[in-house]
Amino acid sequence: MIADTATLADKLDQARAELTARGMNVAMAEAVRSGVSAVELLLPEGNAAELRAVLDAVFRPSDLLVTDHVPVIPHVFVSDMDSTMIAAECIDELADFAGIKPQIAAITERAMRGELDFAAALTERVGLLRELDETVIATCLAERVAPMPGAETLVRTLKARGCRTVLVTGGFHQFADPVAEQLGFDRVVANRLGVANGRLTGGLDGAITDSAVKRAVLLEEVSELGENAVSLAMGDGANDIPMLQAATYGLAYRAKPTARAAADGWIDRGDLTSVLELLDIPRSEWVWE
């Protein structure tokens, strides 16, 4: 867990008292390393959901991972793209060029909250982009799409530790491929916008990458690495939930409430390098951008 250093000691005492009152005795609570605001708590027994609730109430905002063992470096990292690895929802930015961003962004928000069927919402939004000039994609990529802080350091550090990295998104190859190349991902799974005669067709080429596909990609990667492979998944929306739940460690990044509740932990306070802190990888071993 990572929290603000200034109040860490007092809040640890508060959390310990609250957990003890609930019958969960803290056997150990200590800083991971000197100079780092990350703390490892060990409880011999207790309910994970209750533990999360107490720590969230006491330390919010915080970065947290709850596991039944000391975290290890994952063998495979599978991540969402939009609003997770990049600071944008690409379809909303494309819609801005078409003059319909509020209309499409409202659908995107509801889909990410789990209020709409993802595939139906995607089909509807892509249809509204019909006849948009293909050149807008490159303009949008250059002007509107930027990595989340710490994204490249996270991916390249995990790769340096032998971790396979996969970008799997309900967004589009036209954005995901260059993002993956910039950040260092080994594999990309995404949708592809249909294009004909230099304009968007309003449809997709190929099957839809949805929540079931995201989960299947993670399980496929784990299977190829062996039954003891440790997996890390990260996302922010409802369509990431099956993938987060299937992973050894499922982390929600600045996530919608449903995704946050389904994950093993969250990143609410820091940037993406907080994942490296939670995995106890010293900063001296990070691969900087």
125, two tokens: 């939004």
Which of the residues are catalytic? 80, 82
Is the distance from CB of 192 to CB of 205 less than 8 angstroms? yes
CA distance 239 to 170: 8
Q: What is the largest CA-CA distance in the chain?
A: 67
Report the C-alpha dihedral over residues 210, 214, 216, 220, rounded to 10 degrees: 150
Dist CA 193 CA 174 (whole Å): 7
- What does residue 108 show for φ and ψ, rounded to 5 degrees? -60, -45
Bridge-based pairing of strands 193-196 and 199-204 is antiparallel
**H/E element, 29:** strand 28-31
Angle 95-108-138 from CA coordinates, rounded to 5°: 35
